[in-house]
Amino acid sequence: MSIRNDITNNIVSVLKDTTDPKPIFVTRETIELEDLGRQQFPAVVVVTGDETRRESTMDAGIGTRNSILNIQCQCYVTGTNIDLQRNDIIERVEEALETDRTRDGVASDTRLVEVAIDGAIDKRFGLATLTFEVEYYYTRGAA
């Protein structure tokens, strides 16, 4: 399995195993909000994003490379007090992913770099997208 998938699968696993306000539904798949029952919220969709790579050693042919992978956690809430729920799930996701910034030893660091609130979403739902940078090193051809 690729390092990208190992990192993303670790994030899904950590979020599924966290405490209240626990994300009830965590997936890497696209979801249709209307298809989810109220008892499945808060829901988190984990998506791998852009990646920046660069050489870390002088021998570019077989050397070590450094990568910074963007992972987005799209956090959905519904019901009453949307803003309060959204803030609670933002805090919970950040705290959960801070417990092991190495993603079970695969990465060298994980850091939250952006929280974006989507105000254009259907008013029955709230959406906050947390973007994490996950830094890791690998040997060329092994990522």
pLDDT digits (tens, 9 = 90+) for 67-118: 999 999 999 999 999 999 999 999 999 999 999 999 999 999 999 999 999 9
Given a cut of 80, whether residue 1 has pLDDT beyond it is no
What local confidence, expressed as pLDDT, does residue 60 receive? 53
Q: Which domains, from first to last, does the chain contain?
A: 3-139 (3.30.70.1700)
Exposure b/e, 109-133, CB count within 10 A at least 16 = b: ebeeeebeeeeeeeeebbbbbbbbb
- The per-residue pLDDT for range 19-65, each reduced to its tens digit, is 877 899 999 999 998 899 999 999 999 999 999 988 776 655 667 88
How far is Cα 120 from Cα 36, in angstroms, rounded to an integer? 19
